[in-house]
Amino acid sequence: MAGTVPDAVSPMLAVDGLLPDDDRHGYEWKWDGFRGCVRVAATGETRITSRSGSDHTPRYPELGDVFGPALGGRAAVLDGEVVALNAAGRPEFELMQRRAMHEPTPKLRAEVPVVYFAFDLLRIDGESLLTVPYEQRRELLAELVRPADGRIVVPPWYTRADIAPAQLLATAAEHGIEGVVAKRLDAPYLPGARSPLWTKRALTHTDEVIVGGWRPGAGRRAGTLGALLLGAYDDEGALVYLGDVGTGFTDDALDHLSAVLAPLARPASPFDTEVPRDRARGAHWVEPSLVGEVVYRRITPDMRLRHTSWRGLRPDRTPGEIRIPRS
């Protein structure tokens, strides 16, 4: 039916690795935001679905009326990233965290507006484009999506004839962009699959983790949170302790974490593996229902994240999705 919002498509995911340097790939920037499948009816009615399948439309009310005009009244399904731009016009994850921690009031929307970066077209009218090669989907996206204002952007993509992958990474580092993704030009879109047809190269290791507890702070942080105890599921479904994180918190984030962790308190550790005694001493355990994101330098053979820094909560992810990093 003309007014029906199309079904969501589970996002295709990239594998970590070195960027292929050949004429068979297209290259895109890796954007620092929340992945979102945008579904638009011919009437302009829009739904934004997170990577975990949740409806996040109410989180971004300023995007509700932008897609209908941009698509000229055509129904479509888009893949892309919801981002918040800093003063330099680049996506900044910390700004997205402000949106995640608070209701999207008119004041917050004015202070931290979001933009949708559309990088794939998965359906147009009644036609699925999942089997159409990436190169053609990208060309159709640029042809069919006509942004009426800055709330929707179709970012550029490149081939090796335009610029070498190494130069793209150098440019990303220079301008604070998270990294680069290489996509096979002939690749179909594989919903829900993590496929070597897409390869990502991030400039730092960034992964989602599950919060299983916290330790009180000391000194300036006395009376509040000092560190979060982190984990992820292994292939057998066990919640594995991965270490802790005690840096990267703003005062606002500490207040928000204290509020959301309090009702999750439980008497014993939720981890299926042992937490070292010095880390478990004085810990407050919580139900493993919150997902966050950390930056880290490496993961050790005994499954410990090293040199971690907190990035923020990820309300677009669910604990069951979170697996031990393979970096």
How far is 263 from 287, CA to CA, in rounded Å? Answer: 9
How far is 312 from 247, CA to CA, in rounded Å? Answer: 11
How far is 259 from 237, CA to CA, in rounded Å? Answer: 28
Closest CA to 209 of 291, 266, 96, 95: 291
pLDDT digits (tens, 9 = 90+) for 234-267: 999 999 999 999 999 988 899 999 999 999 999 9
Active site residues: 30
DSSP letters for 139-165: HHHHHH---SSTTEE----EETTT--H
Tell me the CATH number for domain 30-176: 3.30.470.30
What residue ranges do the domains of the chain occupy?
Answer: 30-176, 205-321
How far is 271 from 229, CA to CA, in rounded Å? Answer: 10
DSSP letters for 288-307: EEEEEEEEESEE-TTS-EES
pTM (predicted TM-score): 0.75
pLDDT digits (tens, 9 = 90+) for 88-125: 888 888 788 888 888 889 998 888 899 999 999 999 99
- Provide the pLDDT confidence category of residue 299 given band limits of 50, 70 and 90: confident
Burial 188-220 (b: 16+ CB within 10 A, else e): bbbeeeebebbbbbbeebbbbbbbbbbbebeee
Q: Is the pLDDT of residue 78 over 90?
A: yes
CATH superfamily, region 205-321: Nucleic acid-binding proteins (2.40.50.140)
Instruction: Tell me if 239 sits within 8 A of 272, measured CB to CB.
Output: yes
Residue with tokens 């934004």: 48
- Provide the pLDDT confidence category of residue 59 given band limits of 50, 70 and 90: very high
Residue 281 is given by DSSP the state T
- What pLDDT is stored for residue 102 in this prediction? 83
CATH topology match: 30-176 vs 205-321: no
Average pLDDT score over residue span 11-16: 94
What are the backbone dihedrals phi and psi of residue 72, each rounded to the nearest 5 degrees, phi first? 60, 35
Burial class (CB in 10 A: 0-12, 13-18, 19+), 88: exposed
How far is 282 from 298, CA to CA, in rounded Å? Answer: 27
Q: Is the pLDDT of residue 18 over 80?
A: yes
Closest CA to 116 of 144, 71, 155: 155
The answer for 205, left when phi > 0, alpha when psi is -120 to 50, beta otherwise, is beta
- Provide the pLDDT confidence category of residue 2 given band limits of 50, 70 and 90: low
